[in-house]
Amino acid sequence: MANSNLPRRIIKETQRLLSEPAPGISASPSEDNMRYFNVMILGPTQSPYEGGVFKLELFLPEEYPMAAPKVRFLTKIYHPNIDKLGRICLDILKDKWSPALGIRTVLLRYICLSSFTLVDVYLKRPIHFLKKCSKHQSAFQYQPVHGFYKM
Amino acid sequence: MGGCCCSARKPHLHGTPVYYYCPPTLEEHESLTSNDGTATSLTTGLLVGLNLETSTPDTYHPPPAPLPYDMVLGGPASTDSESGRETVSGSSFETLITCKDPEESDCKIKANSAPISPSKAGLSKSKEFHALVTEEEDGCPICLEEYDVENPKTLTKCEHHFHLSCILEWMERSDSCPICDQEMIFDQTLN
């Protein structure tokens, strides 16, 4: 019923997501609602999240592509820009959205690369951040890369 | 030769972090192919553990396992490789590489010093938008449909193109160009 009014842009984006998957990311639409996507992201290499597997959900609102998609982490994660409920503090998902962006760009460039590597802001205090990581180890799906401590 | 490269690189990556190392395109392809089995097994094991999570709603059905990363994340460099594989035009790929090489060294410097500056973020965003246009050169960046007589191309002062209906709908929300964020001014000469 809802799927019959699906804009062609969403159909095109879905087809491309399925036929040309990006490395580290997998996304597929729900059978019940073509606007709801189940997403899985591998933790980026050379980051404290390497080896982790993170589940997310993505929803395309009625106004899409004029309004940003809604994305949320379902897997718990310790990250300065992601809260306890998995909501992501990311400007392009809020007031800086642009209709030239797409699902793939949001997931690959902004969530997978930019969000995860926001730990760069802690490079001045790498030990401090990693100590925080170890305190929340139960929230991670993996052990931090040992070599990371050499920074 | 290819096999040696793959096997040699893998232990190295596991042992010591390597920054800003981006293999050539061909090598990446080989690495991607050879790693599929291992990654699938690894991810399958992890998925079993994930099923125990209670935070996942019932509506969540895991998508297929993601492809492994076949490159070390180096910021613009990784994006380059991704764009290169997707772009049909070889010259366009070369152009992207040429433009972004200085950025890579800049990224290295910044990684070892100050946090990411606002101008850096702006540059990053701008490059990404241009990459999007490269991918969909013949279509409207907003609806991804092609231009035709009934729905012609509308040019802006910043030399980006959209359907008139698409850009007017966007301008109800914002006065900036969706691609470069500059103020939206239509090119009068073509209208």
Evaluate whether residue A143 is within a structural domain: no
At B32, the pLDDT band (50, 70, 90 cuts) reads: very low
Question: In which domain, by residue range, is A90 found?
Answer: 8-117
Range of the domain at B148: 133-181
Q: Is A104 helix (H, G, I), strand (E, B) or coil?
A: helix
Residue B150 corresponds to which tokens in the numbers above?
A: 């009934």
CB atoms near residue B57 (< 10 Å) = 7
Domain assignment present for residue A74? The answer is yes
Tell me the pLDDT tens digit for each residue of B52-95.
444 566 778 888 888 877 644 433 333 333 333 333 333 333 33
Other C-beta atoms closer than 10 Å to the C-beta of A42 total: 25
Residue B80 lies in a domain: no
**Cβ of A81 under 8 Å from any chain B Cβ?**
no
Total number of domains constituting chain A: 1
Nearest to A38 among B46, B62, B79 (CB): B62
**Domain containing A12 — which CATH number?**
3.10.110.10
Report d(CA A5, CA A106) in Å as an integer.
Answer: 23
pLDDT of residue B127: 43
Closest CA to A39 of A90, A108, A94: A108
Structural domains counted in chain B: 1
Q: How far is B69 from chain A (nearest CA, A)?
A: 5
- Is B142 within the bounds of a domain? yes
CATH at residue B176 = 3.30.40.10
AA identity, residue A23:
P
Cross-strand partners of A25: A41
Helix (H, G, I), strand (E, B) or coil at B161: strand
Q: Is residue A135 part of a domain?
A: no
Q: Classify residue B143: in a domain, yes or no.
A: yes
Asked about A89 being catalytic, the answer comes back as yes
Does B153 map to a domain?
yes
> Is residue A96 assigned to a domain?
yes
Beta pairing, strands B161-163 & B153-155: antiparallel
Which of B73, B129, B144 is closest, CB to CB, to A12? B144
Q: Is A15 exposed, middle or buried (0-12, 13-18, 19+ CB in 10 A)?
A: exposed
Q: Which of A11, A66, A89, A113 is catalytic?
A: A89
Contact B73 A45 (CB under 8 A): yes
CB contact under 8 A, A45 and B72: yes
Assess if residue B139 is contained within a domain: yes
Please give the biggest Cα pair distance in chain B: 62
A13 touches B at CB < 8 Å: yes
Asked if A24 contacts B68 with a C-beta cutoff of 8 angstroms, the reply is: yes
Query: What is the residue-level pLDDT of chain A in tens, covering all 151 positions?
Result: 455 688 999 999 999 999 988 888 999 999 889 999 999 998 887 777 888 899 999 999 999 989 999 999 999 888 877 888 888 888 888 888 999 999 998 988 887 777 665 444 444 444 445 555 555 444 444 444 444 443 3
Cross-chain residue pair A121–B75, CB shorter than 8 Å: no
Q: Is the model more confident about B171 or about A118?
A: B171
Q: Is residue A110 part of a domain?
A: yes
With respect to residue B74, please indicate whether it lies within any of the assigned structural domains.
Answer: no
* CA end-to-end span of chain A: 54
**Chain A with chain B: Cβ pairs closer than 8 A:** 146
- Point out the residue among B55, B60, B63 whose CB comes nearest to the CB of A76: B55
pLDDT for the residue numbered A77: 85
For residue B29, is it within any domain?
no
Q: Are A67 and A61 in contact (CB under 8 A)?
A: yes
Residues in chain A closer than 8 A to B166 (CB atoms): 99
Q: Is residue A69 part of a domain?
A: yes
- Which candidate, A108, A25, A93, A71, places its Cα nearest to that of B75? A108
Within 8 A of B124 by CB-CB distance, chain A residues are 114
A16 part of a folded domain: yes
CA proximity to B74, closest of B43, B97, B40: B97
Q: Is A53 on the interface with B (CB under 8 A)?
A: yes
Which residues partner with A38 through β-bridges? A28, A57
